[in-house]
Amino acid sequence: MKERASGRAFKITRTEWIIIGASLVLPVIFDFSPYFQGLLIFIMMWIILGSSWNLLAGYTGLVSFGHAAYFGIGAYATAIPFLHFGLSPWWGLLTGGIAAVILGYLLGLIVFRLRGPYFALGTLATAEILRIIFGEEEWLTNGHSGILYMTTWVSKYPYYYIALALALGAVFSVKLVTKTKAGFYFLSIREDQDAAEALGINTKKYKNIATVISTFWAGMAGAFYMIYMGFIDPEVVFSLHNISIITILVGIIGGVGTIWGPAVGAIVMVFMQELFRSSIFGLAPEWLSRFHSLVFGLLVIFVILYMAGGIVGDWKLISRKIRTAHAEEKE
């Protein structure tokens, strides 16, 4: 009994090993073009952000509309020490995560008093306030001119592997947590906060733990963004619709409350975004690129109406539909 029970705890499945292996060797074997490598790097960044959001919203029920706050703080905690003290932005992989955790913890003291839509609005307002502050306080942040730094490598390979390592770290930290006491407590809080308290769960404490893990990864994504892009300004990293909303879309389309949902969502979103930005690689008229927000909106409506579990959450449903459609065609 004991053995069977522990057997179902954290374990990396064969499919997961294949995914890890493939993402390690494929870029080398096929020698992807820098353009395609760039897309992969952005996919990894969105996996980190999506997993971060998913832990809070999907597993703990705290739907954040302001993940740009943690992303931006991570990016600025990387860029500001460089700007003022000449400290290498690589330190950001330490300071970015820590700064985001501190912000997340302090904010938690305020926004955890709010429930449901009010919590979402509280987080949204936070990111917007930070965007304005970081734009105005020029002595500290260089304001809207942003902060520029010459990136370390021209080749994209090293960045790809760093992003991959961070993305795997984010995904597997979520997977690990779901098999622990904390993971069960997150889910209990999501399902019913009053019932959770009756089970002896210190809901405030466990919301804080979820926030610490989530904001750490969001901050790391921000730090990575600064290191990789070599340029940030407040409008980019604290952006409501380019960061906060896209993060939510990655989570929802992939599958809220699923371990691999954000990864699938990130792939879909990055390709969708690229398809529209390039007007389907130049094949469609140029004006199509202006419609990407509209299409994202429609996509979200579709997902919420017809597959609320997202691609991963409703995979069984989707594959069954495809199979029956296939069978009908054959007949």
Partner 1 sequence: MSALTISNLTKVFGGLTAVNDVSFEVQEGEIFGLIGPNGSGKTTIFNMISQYYSVTSGKIYFKGQDITNKKTFEIALLGIGRTFQVVKPLKRLTVEENVMAAAFARESTFAGAKQAATEVLEFCRLDALRGMKAGGLPIAGRKRLEIARALATRPFLLLLDETAAGLNPYELDEAIDIIKKIRSELGITVIIVEHIMKVIMSISDRIHAIAYGATIAQGTPLEVAKDPTVIEAYLGSDYAGENKNAQC
Contact status: 1 vs partner 1 (CB under 8 A): yes
* Member of 136, 137, 138, 191 binding partner 1 (CB under 8 A): 191
Closest by CA to 117, choosing from 70, 57, 68, 73, is: 57
* Smallest distance, partner 1 to C-beta of residue 138, A: 46
Q: In angstroms, what is the minimal distance from the CB of 186 to partner 1?
A: 10
- Does 202 bind partner 1 (CB under 8 A)? Our answer is yes
Judged by CB under 8 A, does residue 54 bind partner 1? no
Residue 13 engages partner 1 in binding (rule: CB under 8 A):
no
Query: How many Å apart are CA 241 and CA 243, to the nearest integer?
Result: 6
The stretch among 27-35, 41-49, 72-80, 188-196 that binds partner 1 (CB under 8 A) is 188-196
| Distance from C-alpha of 202 to C-alpha of 182, rounded to nearest angstrom | 11
> Which x/- pattern over 163-182 shows residues binding partner 1 (rule: CB under 8 A)?
----------------xxx-
Closest to partner 1 by CB, 24 or 308: 308
Among 86, 200, 282, 285, binds partner 1 (CB under 8 A): 200
Q: Does 11 bind partner 1 (CB under 8 A)?
A: no
Closer to partner 1 by Cβ: residue 239 or 258: 258
β-bridge pairing 147-148 and 231-232:
antiparallel
Length of the chain: 331
Shortest distance in whole angstroms from residue 94 CB to partner 1 = 30
Binding-site string for partner 1 from residue 251 to residue 270, where x marks contact by CB under 8 A and - marks none: ------x-------------
Contacts of 188-193 with CB under 8 Å at 24 or more apart are: 189/60, 189/61, 190/59, 190/60, 190/61, 190/257, 191/61, 193/115
Q: Which stretch binds partner 1 (CB under 8 A): 19-27, 83-91, 192-200, 298-306?
A: 192-200
- Whole-angstrom Cα distance, residue 53 to residue 47? 10
Angstrom distance (rounded) from CA 124 to CA 248? 12
> Which amino acid, 261?
G
β-sheet bridge partners, residue 231: 148
For residue 318 the two structure tokens come to 């989707």
